[in-house]
Amino acid sequence: MGNRRNRKIQNVLQFAGFGLPATLIWAAVVIIPFLYGIGITFTDWNGLSLDINFIGLKNYKTVFSDPTFLSAFLKTVIYVLFTVIVSNVVGFFLALVVTSGIRFQGLFRTGFFTPNIIGGIILGYIWNFIFPMQSHQ
């Protein structure tokens, strides 16, 4: 029982040893600047001056009372919802077509995957042009 517990503790420590550095770097690069940016929204700082004053929710009141912002925000929400829904519906339909076993499935797979392959082929030709094989005589 004790050996099993020690092994479990060792696994947790090993996981933490591998995961903690990446998590700390991610926090330093993403989370801390994000939280700092949120804090700045509650000030009147213009990004250049050294004078920073706390103004609370005044910036948010200004932004949400601006009709241009509200129009742009509404258009963005509609665009995001539309593109997410349409891209998922199209993606599920294409996945169904290439995996369902319907007639001409091979043709659909060829048409679907050929554009992905062409880029690699062209890249191979480019590298072959840049670094041609030389015969060693």
Q: Tokens 């420590």: give the residue.
A: 13
How many helices (H) does the chain have, and how many strands (E)?
Answer: 5, 0
Return the ∠ at Cα 115 (arms to 112 and 119), rounded to 5°: 150
CB half-sphere exposure, 70, CA atoms < 13 A: 7
- pLDDT on residue 78: 98
Q: What pTM did the predictor assign? A: 0.56
Question: Quick one: tokens of 9?
Answer: 């503790």
pLDDT tens by residue, 65-113: 999 999 999 999 999 999 999 999 999 998 888 888 888 888 888 888 8
Give exposure, 63-75, as e/b (b: 16+ Cβ within 10 Å): eeeeeeeeeeeee
Distance CA 70, CA 67 (A): 5
Q: Where are the domains of the chain?
A: 1-63, 66-137
